[in-house]
Structure 1
Amino acid sequence: MPRPVSYRIMTMRLPLSKECATIISVYAPTMTNPDENKEGFYNQLASVLSGIPRTDKLLRIGYFNERIGRDNDKWPLVMGKRGIGKCNFNGELLLALCSEFKLILTNTMFKQKDERNTTWMHPRSRHWDMIDFIMTRCWDKMDIHSTRAMRGPNCWTDHQMLRPKVAFRIRQRHNRQGTSKPTKLNTAKLRIISHRKSFEQEMDSALAQWEEKESSTSDEEWAALQQVVYNIAKIYLGKPERKHQDWFDPQRQGATDSYEQKKPSPPESVANQEH
């Protein structure tokens, strides 16, 4: 369910197949608010962003009341080349926050007409500006296929609504660092009857001692049994032998020396040129 952080910030976490997506809806202070209110809002938003797990997909949407301009050279990782207008003080705060948390403004990523990027018209100058934004993490920007303003009589409000097309790519889970797979064992030794009988006797005695111990849960009992069997097998079987010899082994080295001895000597004229 949506969780209100303040009267300007609301979050919602959606479960995906293997991950989660966090959506943050905001309503930033306008230019007429004191600078203390603006800085307090961005500090609160920064604390919310720092509490979101790094593995979550993130969408930050809302009415930000900022003009970010078109200075892509100054903020290459935060905004694309499709910015509009000039940057103001609120825009500097927004860009700095995006740079800190590695967010990108998806409105500026796609090449389209200005009427599909602008979302608000100034009441006096009648100029259209881009002050509503949809943001995501920089490494997830390929999940956003498009972001555009919805135009038409059925969508007319004070601000044009933004519509993103999103297709989340679910990451594959990798093994945790520090965990290693068990070493392969040389099971070919079990073909030797004498070796196999001694291995069976040692395994029976180890399992008899293990049965005397009691574990609290079935998972712990299974892990203990697995460890006992693997330790005994590792002692008696060991690692498998290498099937391929190294290129610098003695046999190949002897073959190379014999070839060098049988190699025909070059003519005298060639030998003199080399000297």
Structure 2
Amino acid sequence: MQQITGTMNSGVAALTEREKETLRLLVAGHDAKSIASHLGLSVHTINERLRDARRKLEVSSSREAARLLAEREQAAPDSSADKFLGVSGAADPMASAEPAGRRKHRAQRLAWFGGGMLIMSLVIAAVALSSVFGGSVAATQAGAAPAVAITAPSASASLEPARAWLALVDGRRWDDSWRSASSLFTSQITAPQWARTIESVRGPLGAVSKRTFQTVTKTDVLPGAPAGAYEVILFRTDFARKPGATETVIMVRDPGGWRVAGYFIR
């Protein structure tokens, strides 16, 4: 066991930042095609990154490689928070216009719940999310077929509930958005914690002028979450002070219907 752990640690250490970025997006629900679109790269380039990551981590599945990275970074959240879903110059139109020092402080930090799923990412103006929720990371089935991002809105069973929840957030109805979220969400963060977190993240972005559905990915397994029926929905959103952002809403099917289990912005 010690040898296996040592091999994993050395493999993670050998990953480049670009390979880590690609694996983190895979954990967030993207596939190779949507990662390529998100980063402005070719699918061939993304597949090369994933292949190199699999080789370094000595695994046969890209999702297994992503899970191993998520486990490793969860074990040391303070050291990885600034790098999680880091913004590259190609992906972020704001990056090239900012001095390097400001880009460093406009770091993306994270809050975990359920042992690994993201509640929120992207903090502007150096607002840090300090709550890290513990727990065991659920293992993704090594032989499971990769989830596929679908571009047809009709393929999503949870799109309308997701839009309704986002409308609450757009209206700054923090308590209502917390109450309407899934039990998985509300069991891991209190309403006051959520209000502080969402205010610090959404406030600096300004009002939403346009939100367009991009893809939905259906899956029954997500790293750090219990098995269930999930939909990972991506929107391209224009905020007053951040046009062209990507919002990700993770929906889970609760007994009462589809509800929000996670949300983050890039």
Superposition TM-score, scaled by structure 2 size: 0.27
Larger radius of gyration: 1
Structure with a larger share of its residues in helix? 2
Superposition TM-score, scaled by structure 1 size: 0.26
